[in-house]
Amino acid sequence: MEQQRWATEERQREAQRAEELKRLEVEREKIAAEKEWAAEERKALEAARAAEIERLLAVKNECMEERARRLQAEQIYIAP
């Protein structure tokens, strides 16, 4: 009778350990997924930032070209 009770308690402990391991594995997978999401989010933000920098540089170049054309036009207008 004592052996049967001991065996039952041992099975219960094993079941509890298995449940705890399962819970920990689920938590580990959740953390891994969050890390992956964060890494993808960082990549997306970096790409957006790079695109914005390129856009601003293009606008800057356009402005500089327009200014150069205006200065040249003024010089031609004043020179003759």
pLDDT for position 19: 97
Count CB-CB contacts under 10 A for residue 39: 10
Residue 68 has pLDDT above 70, yes or no: yes
For the chain, the first-to-last Cα distance in angstroms comes to 119
Check pLDDT > 70 for residue 79: no
Which sequence spans correspond to the domains of the chain? 1-80
Look at residue 53 in the predicted model and tell me its pLDDT. 98
pLDDT digits (tens, 9 = 90+) for 7-58: 899 999 999 999 999 999 999 999 999 999 999 999 999 999 999 999 999 9
**pLDDT confidence of residue 80:** 58
Q: Is 17 exposed, middle or buried (0-12, 13-18, 19+ CB in 10 A)?
A: exposed
